């Protein structure tokens, strides 16, 4: 399953905080438009012998599908930022 929504929650000691819902499914539109360019670059790299074409596509797809459920917390100087990908 591909990621659809990212939630960014920013919390500070001095104010309540901010929660942003970012629709990641809208990023698929430019990704589809850039896909031929990315495939040509992967094909050129595979012909040059740097990587294997189908294996690189498979690895990229597995990384995309593993993103849902990812959470990143950053705390610095009283600021807390949480990024969750649903």
pLDDT in the model for residue 13: 83
Give the Cα separation of 69 and 7 in Å (integer): 11
Q: What is the tens place of the pLDDT at every residue in 18-61?
A: 999 999 988 889 989 999 999 999 899 999 988 898 998 899 88
pLDDT at 74 over 90: yes
| Domain regions of the chain by residue span | 5-85
- Note the pTM of the prediction, 2 decimals: 0.71
Q: How far apart are CA 56 and CA 39, in angstroms?
A: 10
- Measured CA to CA, the distance from residue 20 to residue 52 in angstroms comes to 38
């Amino acid at each position: 399953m591909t990621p659809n929504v990212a939630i960014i929650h920013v919390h500070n000691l001095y104010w309540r905080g901010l929660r942003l819902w970012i629709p990641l499914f809208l990023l698929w539109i430019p990704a589809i438009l850039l896909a031929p360019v990315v495939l040509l670059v992967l094909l050129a790299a595979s012909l040059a012998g740097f990587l294997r074409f189908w294996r690189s596509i498979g690895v990229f797809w597995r990384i995309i599908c593993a993103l849902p459920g990812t959470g990143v917390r950053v705390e610095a100087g009283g600021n807390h930022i949480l990024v969750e990908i649903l």
